[in-house]
Amino acid sequence: MTRRRWVAPVAVLLALVGLAALALVGAGEKPSSSAPAGHETASGTTSPSAQRAGPTDAEFDAHVRALRDRLPEGFTLCVARPFVVLGDEDADTVRRRSDGTVRWAVELLRKDFFEKDPAEIIDIWLFRDKSSYTAHAAQLFGDTPDTPFGYYSARHKALVMNIRTGGGTLVHEIVHPFLRANFPACPSWFDEGLASLYEQSGERDGHIVGYTNWRLAGLQKAVRAGKALRFERLCGLTRDEFYGEGSGLHYAQARYLCYWLQQHGRLVKFYHAFVAAQKDDPTGYKTLVKVLGEDDMDAFQTRWQAWVLKLRYP
Ligand SMILES: [Zn+2]
Protein backbone atom coordinates (compact mmCIF):
# COMPACT_ATOMS: atom_id res chain seq x y z
CA MET A 1 0.00 0.00 0.00
CA THR A 2 1.26 3.45 0.66
CA ARG A 3 4.90 4.06 1.28
CA ARG A 4 5.61 6.91 3.60
CA ARG A 5 8.40 9.27 4.28
CA TRP A 6 10.33 9.46 7.49
CA VAL A 7 10.91 12.30 9.83
CA ALA A 8 14.25 13.18 11.30
CA PRO A 9 13.66 12.47 15.03
CA VAL A 10 12.61 8.95 14.24
CA ALA A 11 15.56 8.44 11.97
CA VAL A 12 17.80 9.48 14.85
CA LEU A 13 16.05 7.09 17.21
CA LEU A 14 16.42 4.28 14.72
CA ALA A 15 20.03 5.10 14.12
CA LEU A 16 20.57 4.73 17.88
CA VAL A 17 18.75 1.42 17.88
CA GLY A 18 20.85 0.36 14.92
CA LEU A 19 24.04 1.28 16.79
CA ALA A 20 22.86 -0.62 19.83
CA ALA A 21 22.13 -3.58 17.60
CA LEU A 22 25.57 -3.42 16.03
CA ALA A 23 27.19 -3.22 19.44
CA LEU A 24 25.38 -6.40 20.43
CA VAL A 25 26.21 -8.40 17.31
CA GLY A 26 28.25 -11.43 18.20
CA ALA A 27 27.24 -11.44 21.83
CA GLY A 28 25.87 -14.88 20.99
CA GLU A 29 23.17 -15.21 23.59
CA LYS A 30 19.69 -16.06 22.33
CA PRO A 31 16.98 -13.70 23.46
CA SER A 32 14.03 -15.18 25.23
CA SER A 33 10.95 -15.01 23.08
CA SER A 34 7.30 -14.92 23.93
CA ALA A 35 6.66 -17.32 21.06
CA PRO A 36 6.45 -21.03 21.91
CA ALA A 37 9.77 -22.74 22.60
CA GLY A 38 11.39 -24.37 19.60
CA HIS A 39 9.30 -22.50 17.07
CA GLU A 40 12.25 -21.35 14.99
CA THR A 41 13.50 -24.87 14.49
CA ALA A 42 10.00 -26.07 13.77
CA SER A 43 9.54 -23.47 11.07
CA GLY A 44 12.89 -24.38 9.58
CA THR A 45 14.18 -20.84 9.67
CA THR A 46 17.24 -21.06 11.91
CA SER A 47 19.90 -22.75 9.86
CA PRO A 48 18.75 -21.86 6.33
CA SER A 49 18.99 -18.16 7.18
CA ALA A 50 22.46 -17.96 5.66
CA GLN A 51 21.28 -19.42 2.33
CA ARG A 52 18.31 -17.15 2.45
CA ALA A 53 20.72 -14.20 2.51
CA GLY A 54 18.82 -12.41 5.24
CA PRO A 55 20.37 -11.17 8.50
CA THR A 56 22.49 -13.61 10.51
CA ASP A 57 21.15 -15.16 13.70
CA ALA A 58 23.40 -12.87 15.74
CA GLU A 59 22.16 -9.76 13.93
CA PHE A 60 18.60 -10.85 14.36
CA ASP A 61 19.04 -11.59 18.08
CA ALA A 62 20.71 -8.25 18.65
CA HIS A 63 17.87 -6.48 16.87
CA VAL A 64 15.30 -8.25 19.05
CA ARG A 65 17.22 -7.38 22.22
CA ALA A 66 17.38 -3.72 21.26
CA LEU A 67 13.66 -3.71 20.51
CA ARG A 68 12.86 -5.28 23.86
CA ASP A 69 14.78 -2.53 25.58
CA ARG A 70 12.53 0.12 24.10
CA LEU A 71 9.29 -1.83 23.95
CA PRO A 72 6.44 0.46 24.99
CA GLU A 73 4.40 -0.58 28.04
CA GLY A 74 1.67 -3.11 27.32
CA PHE A 75 3.26 -4.51 24.16
CA THR A 76 4.11 -8.14 23.45
CA LEU A 77 7.01 -9.06 21.20
CA CYS A 78 7.06 -12.29 19.18
CA VAL A 79 9.72 -13.53 16.82
CA ALA A 80 8.47 -14.82 13.47
CA ARG A 81 11.59 -14.74 11.34
CA PRO A 82 12.32 -12.93 9.15
CA PHE A 83 9.95 -10.60 11.01
CA VAL A 84 9.48 -9.38 14.55
CA VAL A 85 5.86 -8.91 15.59
CA LEU A 86 4.94 -6.33 18.22
CA GLY A 87 1.43 -5.63 19.39
CA ASP A 88 -0.67 -4.10 22.13
CA GLU A 89 -3.60 -6.49 22.03
CA ASP A 90 -3.53 -9.08 24.83
CA ALA A 91 -0.43 -11.30 24.74
CA ASP A 92 -2.28 -14.41 23.56
CA THR A 93 -3.80 -12.55 20.62
CA VAL A 94 -0.44 -11.12 19.58
CA ARG A 95 1.08 -14.63 19.75
CA ARG A 96 -1.79 -16.03 17.73
CA ARG A 97 -1.31 -13.41 15.03
CA SER A 98 2.43 -14.00 15.01
CA ASP A 99 2.09 -17.79 14.68
CA GLY A 100 -1.23 -18.14 12.89
CA THR A 101 -0.87 -15.33 10.40
CA VAL A 102 2.72 -14.12 10.04
CA ARG A 103 4.62 -17.39 10.46
CA TRP A 104 1.96 -19.28 8.50
CA ALA A 105 2.10 -16.87 5.56
CA VAL A 106 5.91 -16.78 5.57
CA GLU A 107 6.20 -20.57 5.47
CA LEU A 108 3.70 -21.02 2.67
CA LEU A 109 4.99 -18.10 0.60
CA ARG A 110 8.54 -19.43 0.86
CA LYS A 111 7.38 -22.87 -0.17
CA ASP A 112 5.85 -21.78 -3.47
CA PHE A 113 7.62 -18.55 -4.35
CA PHE A 114 10.51 -17.13 -2.42
CA GLU A 115 14.00 -18.48 -1.99
CA LYS A 116 15.47 -15.41 -0.31
CA ASP A 117 14.41 -13.60 2.81
CA PRO A 118 14.31 -9.80 2.88
CA ALA A 119 17.81 -8.43 3.44
CA GLU A 120 16.57 -6.27 6.29
CA ILE A 121 14.79 -7.17 9.52
CA ILE A 122 11.25 -5.83 9.37
CA ASP A 123 9.24 -5.04 12.48
CA ILE A 124 5.51 -5.61 12.23
CA TRP A 125 3.65 -3.32 14.62
CA LEU A 126 0.06 -4.41 15.22
CA PHE A 127 -1.87 -1.66 16.95
CA ARG A 128 -5.09 -2.79 18.57
CA ASP A 129 -7.38 -0.04 17.25
CA LYS A 130 -7.54 3.21 15.38
CA SER A 131 -6.51 5.41 18.27
CA SER A 132 -3.53 3.23 19.18
CA TYR A 133 -2.53 3.10 15.49
CA THR A 134 -2.73 6.84 15.03
CA ALA A 135 -1.06 7.67 18.33
CA HIS A 136 1.81 5.20 17.96
CA ALA A 137 2.41 6.00 14.29
CA ALA A 138 3.03 9.56 15.44
CA GLN A 139 4.93 8.70 18.64
CA LEU A 140 7.19 5.95 17.31
CA PHE A 141 7.56 6.98 13.68
CA GLY A 142 6.48 10.59 13.38
CA ASP A 143 3.85 9.59 10.82
CA THR A 144 0.30 10.67 10.18
CA PRO A 145 -1.17 7.64 8.39
CA ASP A 146 -3.14 8.38 5.23
CA THR A 147 -4.71 4.91 5.18
CA PRO A 148 -6.93 3.40 7.91
CA PHE A 149 -5.46 -0.10 7.45
CA GLY A 150 -1.72 0.17 7.66
CA TYR A 151 1.38 0.95 5.64
CA TYR A 152 4.96 -0.05 5.12
CA SER A 153 7.62 2.40 6.10
CA ALA A 154 10.77 1.60 4.14
CA ARG A 155 12.93 3.91 6.16
CA HIS A 156 11.85 2.51 9.51
CA LYS A 157 11.76 -0.99 8.09
CA ALA A 158 8.39 -1.35 9.74
CA LEU A 159 4.90 -2.46 8.86
CA VAL A 160 2.56 -0.22 10.79
CA MET A 161 -0.90 -1.72 11.03
CA ASN A 162 -4.28 -1.05 12.57
CA ILE A 163 -5.02 -4.72 13.19
CA ARG A 164 -8.63 -3.98 14.11
CA THR A 165 -9.29 -3.71 10.36
CA GLY A 166 -8.38 -7.41 9.98
CA GLY A 167 -5.40 -9.56 9.05
CA GLY A 168 -5.81 -9.22 5.28
CA THR A 169 -3.65 -6.15 4.94
CA LEU A 170 -1.03 -7.87 7.07
CA VAL A 171 -0.58 -10.76 4.63
CA HIS A 172 -0.69 -8.31 1.71
CA GLU A 173 2.16 -6.32 3.25
CA ILE A 174 4.23 -9.43 4.02
CA VAL A 175 4.36 -10.28 0.30
CA HIS A 176 6.02 -6.99 -0.70
CA PRO A 177 9.36 -7.37 1.14
CA PHE A 178 9.70 -10.91 -0.19
CA LEU A 179 9.11 -9.70 -3.74
CA ARG A 180 11.65 -6.91 -3.24
CA ALA A 181 14.23 -9.48 -2.12
CA ASN A 182 13.53 -12.03 -4.82
CA PHE A 183 12.35 -9.96 -7.76
CA PRO A 184 13.57 -6.37 -7.32
CA ALA A 185 12.51 -5.40 -10.85
CA CYS A 186 8.97 -6.71 -10.36
CA PRO A 187 6.53 -4.30 -12.04
CA SER A 188 3.77 -2.77 -9.94
CA TRP A 189 0.97 -4.81 -11.50
CA PHE A 190 2.42 -8.10 -10.32
CA ASP A 191 3.75 -6.70 -7.03
CA GLU A 192 0.26 -5.53 -6.06
CA GLY A 193 -1.58 -8.32 -7.86
CA LEU A 194 0.16 -11.04 -5.87
CA ALA A 195 0.11 -9.09 -2.59
CA SER A 196 -3.58 -8.31 -2.88
CA LEU A 197 -4.40 -11.90 -3.90
CA TYR A 198 -3.47 -12.99 -0.38
CA GLU A 199 -5.47 -10.29 1.42
CA GLN A 200 -8.16 -12.93 1.64
CA SER A 201 -6.39 -16.24 1.87
CA GLY A 202 -6.29 -19.70 3.33
CA GLU A 203 -4.60 -23.03 2.79
CA ARG A 204 -5.32 -25.79 0.31
CA ASP A 205 -3.20 -28.99 0.22
CA GLY A 206 -0.43 -27.25 2.13
CA HIS A 207 -0.29 -24.23 -0.21
CA ILE A 208 -1.47 -20.67 0.29
CA VAL A 209 -4.50 -19.73 -1.81
CA GLY A 210 -6.28 -16.44 -2.31
CA TYR A 211 -10.06 -16.20 -2.27
CA THR A 212 -12.45 -13.72 -3.84
CA ASN A 213 -12.66 -10.50 -1.82
CA TRP A 214 -14.01 -6.97 -1.68
CA ARG A 215 -12.11 -5.87 -4.78
CA LEU A 216 -14.38 -8.03 -6.97
CA ALA A 217 -17.40 -5.70 -7.05
CA GLY A 218 -15.46 -2.77 -8.50
CA LEU A 219 -13.83 -4.99 -11.09
CA GLN A 220 -17.15 -6.47 -12.21
CA LYS A 221 -18.56 -2.98 -12.53
CA ALA A 222 -15.61 -1.94 -14.70
CA VAL A 223 -15.89 -5.08 -16.84
CA ARG A 224 -19.60 -4.43 -17.40
CA ALA A 225 -18.81 -0.86 -18.37
CA GLY A 226 -16.14 -2.04 -20.82
CA LYS A 227 -13.43 -0.33 -18.79
CA ALA A 228 -11.15 -3.25 -17.98
CA LEU A 229 -7.69 -2.73 -19.41
CA ARG A 230 -6.26 -4.93 -22.13
CA PHE A 231 -3.71 -7.13 -20.40
CA GLU A 232 -0.86 -5.79 -22.48
CA ARG A 233 -1.74 -2.34 -21.17
CA LEU A 234 -2.12 -3.51 -17.55
CA CYS A 235 1.29 -5.20 -17.61
CA GLY A 236 2.88 -2.18 -19.27
CA LEU A 237 1.68 0.39 -16.72
CA THR A 238 4.54 2.33 -15.19
CA ARG A 239 4.70 2.64 -11.43
CA ASP A 240 3.25 6.15 -11.57
CA GLU A 241 0.46 5.05 -13.89
CA PHE A 242 -0.39 2.03 -11.76
CA TYR A 243 -0.70 4.08 -8.56
CA GLY A 244 -2.25 7.06 -10.33
CA GLU A 245 -5.73 7.57 -11.69
CA GLY A 246 -7.75 4.35 -11.81
CA SER A 247 -5.48 2.59 -9.32
CA GLY A 248 -8.45 0.82 -7.70
CA LEU A 249 -9.18 -0.89 -11.01
CA HIS A 250 -5.48 -1.64 -11.59
CA TYR A 251 -5.21 -3.42 -8.21
CA ALA A 252 -8.42 -5.34 -8.80
CA GLN A 253 -7.62 -6.39 -12.35
CA ALA A 254 -4.08 -7.48 -11.39
CA ARG A 255 -5.48 -9.40 -8.41
CA TYR A 256 -8.03 -11.26 -10.46
CA LEU A 257 -5.54 -12.07 -13.19
CA CYS A 258 -3.40 -13.66 -10.46
CA TYR A 259 -6.52 -15.33 -9.11
CA TRP A 260 -7.29 -16.75 -12.56
CA LEU A 261 -3.74 -18.10 -12.83
CA GLN A 262 -4.04 -19.63 -9.36
CA GLN A 263 -7.40 -21.25 -10.06
CA HIS A 264 -6.02 -22.74 -13.26
CA GLY A 265 -2.89 -24.05 -11.55
CA ARG A 266 -0.51 -21.66 -13.31
CA LEU A 267 0.34 -18.92 -10.82
CA VAL A 268 3.47 -20.48 -9.33
CA LYS A 269 4.65 -21.49 -12.79
CA PHE A 270 4.02 -17.97 -14.10
CA TYR A 271 5.94 -16.37 -11.24
CA HIS A 272 9.06 -18.49 -11.74
CA ALA A 273 8.91 -18.13 -15.53
CA PHE A 274 8.54 -14.36 -15.18
CA VAL A 275 11.52 -14.09 -12.81
CA ALA A 276 13.60 -16.18 -15.22
CA ALA A 277 12.55 -14.10 -18.27
CA GLN A 278 12.60 -10.64 -16.66
CA LYS A 279 15.49 -9.29 -18.77
CA ASP A 280 13.70 -10.02 -22.04
CA ASP A 281 10.25 -9.44 -20.67
CA PRO A 282 10.26 -6.78 -17.95
CA THR A 283 6.47 -6.31 -17.98
CA GLY A 284 5.64 -10.03 -17.84
CA TYR A 285 3.25 -9.80 -20.75
CA LYS A 286 5.17 -12.13 -23.07
CA THR A 287 5.53 -14.65 -20.26
CA LEU A 288 1.83 -14.36 -19.54
CA VAL A 289 0.99 -15.15 -23.16
CA LYS A 290 3.38 -18.08 -23.07
CA VAL A 291 2.09 -19.51 -19.77
CA LEU A 292 -1.49 -19.12 -20.97
CA GLY A 293 -0.53 -20.88 -24.20
CA GLU A 294 -2.66 -18.31 -25.92
CA ASP A 295 -2.24 -16.99 -29.45
CA ASP A 296 -5.31 -14.80 -29.29
CA MET A 297 -5.15 -12.56 -26.24
CA ASP A 298 -8.37 -10.76 -27.18
CA ALA A 299 -10.16 -14.08 -26.99
CA PHE A 300 -8.53 -14.73 -23.61
CA GLN A 301 -9.66 -11.32 -22.40
CA THR A 302 -13.24 -12.08 -23.39
CA ARG A 303 -13.14 -15.43 -21.60
CA TRP A 304 -11.47 -13.94 -18.51
CA GLN A 305 -14.06 -11.16 -18.31
CA ALA A 306 -16.96 -13.63 -18.56
CA TRP A 307 -15.29 -15.71 -15.82
CA VAL A 308 -14.86 -12.63 -13.60
CA LEU A 309 -18.55 -11.78 -13.96
CA LYS A 310 -19.46 -15.23 -12.64
CA LEU A 311 -17.31 -14.94 -9.51
CA ARG A 312 -19.05 -14.25 -6.21
CA TYR A 313 -18.08 -12.46 -3.03
CA PRO A 314 -18.95 -13.11 -0.28
ZN1 LIG B 1 0.58 -3.34 -1.72
Question: CA–CA separation, 275 vs 171, rounded Å?
Answer: 21
Continuous H helices in 155-246: 168-182, 188-197, 215-224, 231-236, 239-243
State in Å: Cα 57 to ligand 1 middle.
28
The predicted model scores a pTM of: 0.82
Residue ranges of the chain whose pLDDT lies below 70: 1-51
Going by C-alpha positions, the residue among 180, 72, 203, 199 that lies closest to residue 136 is 72
State in Å: Cα 151 to ligand 1 middle.
9
Cis check for the bond before 118: say yes or no (omega within 30 of 0).
Answer: no
The per-residue pLDDT for 51 is: 56
The per-residue pLDDT for 54 is: 81
State in Å: Cα 235 to ligand 1 middle.
16
Q: Where are the domains of the chain?
A: 8-182, 188-310
State in Å: Cα 244 to ligand 1 middle.
14
DSSP letter for each residue of 59-87: HHHHHHHHHHHTPPTT-EEEEETTEEEEE
Question: CA–CA separation, 107 vs 178, rounded Å?
Answer: 12
CA atoms within 13 A on the CB side of 29: 5
Give the mean pLDDT of the chain.
86
Among 3.90.70, 2.30.29, 3.30.250, 3.40.30, name the CATH number for the domain at 8-182: 3.40.30
pLDDT digits (tens, 9 = 90+) for 176-194: 999 999 999 999 999 999 9
CB 160 within 8 A of CB 143: yes
State in Å: Cα 1 to ligand 1 middle.
4
